Every structure is written in C-alpha cells, then in structure tokens.
Amino acid sequence: MARVHLTQRTDSYHFSQRRSRFPLHCSVLIFSFLCWLIAALLLIGYLGLQQQRHLPSPASQKRILERHAGQPPLRRLPRASTSKPRGTPLPPAPITPFPSTLEEQIAALQAKDRFFYGGSSQLPEIALTFDDGPNPPYTTQVLALLKHYGIPATFFCVGSQVAAYPELVKQEAAAGYTIGNHSWSHPLLTSLSNAEIMTQLTTTSDIIQRTTGVRPTFFRPPYGALNAQVLTQVNRLGLTTFIWSDGSLDWTMIGPDAISNQVLSNVANGAIILMHDGGGNRWRTVAALPSIIESLQARHFRFVTLAQLVADTHVKAVSQSSLLASADPLNPQGYIRRRSRRVGLV
Ligand code: ZN
C-alpha cells in the first residue's frame, strides 16, 4: 500500500510515494503535531479577536487621550430627549423677542435675573463653584472638605462625566449643593451649530435629571465662551447663565499658594469663585481649599450656593452698621466695590 511520507529537500518539505525515510508512527506524530499547532493558532486568533472587541475604538482612544490631556471628549453624544421632562418644574419661558446682538442679549437676560457675573454687592456672600467634574478622586476630596467646614458649593458638571461617575453627582445633590449644566463634552460652544449646541445642553440636563431627579436650570459655558448663537439656544431652554467674578486660575496649574492668593486678592461681596474639580489633575485646587475657606471665614464672608446667591440678589435690607460689621476687614470698602465684569466675548 502506498503511504504518504514527509521528506525534506534542501529548503522545503514535499510528499512522496517513494520509500519512506520515516516510520509510520513518526508521520502520525508529525501530522498530529501540525493539527494541534493549527488548532492553537486558531484559538489564539479567536482570543485576540475577542480582546480587540473589548478595546476602545480608535475614536474612543482619542477621546481618552484628550480627557487625560485635560480636554474632555468631543463626540458620541447620547440621543437628546424630545419630550418635556416629567416631575420637574418647567423652566422659565424664553424671552421673546430675543435680541440679536450679544450685548443686548446679556442685558435682556440680566434684567430677568438669568445672567450673572456675581451676586449682590450689598451682602458678604461668596459662591464657590467647581467646574468640569465629577472627577475622582478630586470631587470626593472637595466634598469632604466642604463637609468638614460645613459650607455649600455649586458644581457645573460635564454630562459625559456625570454618565461615568453618577454616584459622585448623587453625593453632591444629597448634600444640597446646586448642580449646573456645563455641556456634555466641554467643547467650544461658539464653534458649533445651533443643533449641536442644543444637543450639548439638552443631553447634559437629561443625564443630570436622570441621576439626581432634578433638572438643572443653571448653566456655565465651557471656557466662559459665548456668542449670540449660544445665548439664543440658552434662552430657548430657559437656563440661567453664570460666569464668574473671581477666577482662581487653578486650571493654569499654578501651585496651591498661588491659587489661594489669586482667589483672596480678587474676592468681594457677591463673588462667584471659579475653581475646578475636573478636567485634569486638581490636587493643587484641593490643597488650596482649606486656606481659602479659612481666610474667607476669618474675613466674615458667608458661603452660599448659586441658588442662594440668586435669591439674595435683590436683598438690600441690611443696615449700614451690620454691613460694616460684616465687611472684609482687609478690604472695608469691599461691600460697595463692584468689579467691572465682562466675559470674554468670543
Ligand atoms: Zn469647564
């Protein structure tokens, strides 16, 4: 009976029906080995394919890199809800007709208490605001410090971060802090179309409402960047816009002492202080917080949420003597000083 044998030439193997150089059992062994080798290669290939399916796509990897570079992701927005939110009060009606220029729009919104650079210059109130979170471990550390000192704050959250860390937002809400809309992925809203702006705002309000049970009514534009197109969409949604009057510059990665000095040198009655618990490594912000809080408390400022700051905007029933008693001893005229506040109009 003719048998198939494996013989070797100079550089290759070939089958031959000539006289066998190997006994039958050697051929069977080699054939079995080859079968196992092929099976192993197929298995390795399959496992590799499965592994690849669990790896982020190139677009996702790009988003992850951007996030680690301090730039939140730009794409993949969830579908915006098309129905009215249930269980929450309706937002204020849009101002109509709404002006076409940014200056006029801001004036119209300010007249309706829907646009703020700061609170009442008559009251020694301070609003700490933290942007770009939630973002462990810094949000947790900020919350622990706020609890330690017994003071409130406001968090302008990025929608994609809320989706990633819902428990942190629930903690913020459970503590009674105000939670605002800071867009879904922190883009420069001024570079987006009307539809894209609306999606950024609506999807973020949706995820905050699903997470906390409360639909946000406060909004802060990423980078403080506004134009007439953005404010038109903000007005359509009835959101109240908050810029800030006292930037900590913590996003520039200056040290904790520099952050503290920056905040304390610009503080005044009704100040809205801008800080960050997300968007990068915020250990400097966390490290600066105790000295900022203790210094402001020593100067008899009272910490409030932005909701309280808005509620107190028109409060003027404060006597001159109580104002002087509560005024900043390092800046006794601070309660009547009003900084010229203008947002960078982009
Ligand atoms: Zn931001």
Rounded to the nearest whole angstrom, what is the distance from the C-alpha of residue 222 to the centroid of ligand 1? Answer: 4
- For residue 101, give the 3-state DSSP assignment: coil
Percent of the chain with pLDDT over 70: 66
- Residue 176 pLDDT > 50: yes
% the chain with pLDDT above 90:
62
Task: Return the structure tokens found at 142.
Answer: 């900020």
Integer Cα distance of 232 and 276 in angstroms: 27
- Which pLDDT belongs to residue 28? 64
Confidence of residue 145 (pLDDT cuts 50, 70, 90): very high
* The residue to which tokens 């490290």 are assigned: 287
Residue 223 has pLDDT above 70, yes or no: yes
pLDDT higher than 50, residue 294:
yes
Kindly give the distance from the C-alpha atom of residue 188 to the centroid of ligand 1, in angstroms, as a whole number: 10
CA of 38 to the centre of ligand 1 (A): 54
246 vs 318, which has greater pLDDT? 246
Question: What is the pLDDT, as a whole number, of residue 29?
Answer: 66
Burial of 270 (0-12, 13-18, 19+ CB in 10 A): buried
User: Which listed residue (131, 132, 277, 312) is catalytic?
Assistant: 131
Say whether pLDDT at 338 is over 50.
Answer: no
Residue 287 above 50 pLDDT? yes
What is the rounded CA–CA span in Å between residue 127 and residue 308? 9
What pLDDT score does 90 carry? 67
Q: Which of 5, 250, 276, 328 is catalytic?
A: 276
What percent of the chain is helix, strand and coil (3-state, nearest 5)? 45, 10, 40
**Burial code of 197-224, b = ≥16 C-beta within 10 A, e = fewer?**
bbbbbbbbbbbbbebbeebbbbbbbbeb
Residue 317 Cα to ligand 1 middle (Å): 35
Tell how far the Cα of 130 is from the centroid of ligand 1, in angstroms: 9
For residue 133, pLDDT beyond 90: yes
- What is the per-residue pLDDT across 238-260, written as a single tens digit (0 to 9) for each? 999 999 999 989 989 899 999 99
Distance from the alpha carbon of residue 292 to the mean position of ligand 1, in angstroms: 21
**When comparing pLDDT for 31 and 116, which is higher?**
116
Distance (Å) from CA 123 to ligand 1 centroid: 27
Could you tell me the pTM of the whole model? 0.69
CA of 186 to the centre of ligand 1 (A): 6
Least confident span in 9-13, 31-35, 150-154, 300-304: 9-13
CA 152/CA 262 separation, integer angstroms: 21
Please choose, from the candidates 301, 307, 63, the residue with its C-alpha nearest in 3D space to the C-alpha of residue 178: 307
**Is residue 131 annotated as a catalytic residue, yes or no?**
yes
Q: Residue 337 has which token pair?
A: 């000083």
Say if CB 130 and CB 155 are below 8 A apart.
yes
Q: What is the pLDDT of residue 25?
A: 66
> Is residue 201 scored above 90 in pLDDT?
yes
Residue 191 pLDDT > 80, yes or no? yes
Q: What is the predicted pLDDT for the residue at 27?
A: 66
Q: What's the average model confidence in pLDDT over 199-214?
A: 98
- Tell me which of 237 and 25 has the higher pLDDT: 237
User: What spacing in Å lies between the alpha carbon of 173 and ligand 1's midpoint?
Assistant: 19
Q: Kindly give the distance from the C-alpha atom of residue 10 to the centroid of ligand 1, in angstroms, as a whole number.
A: 69
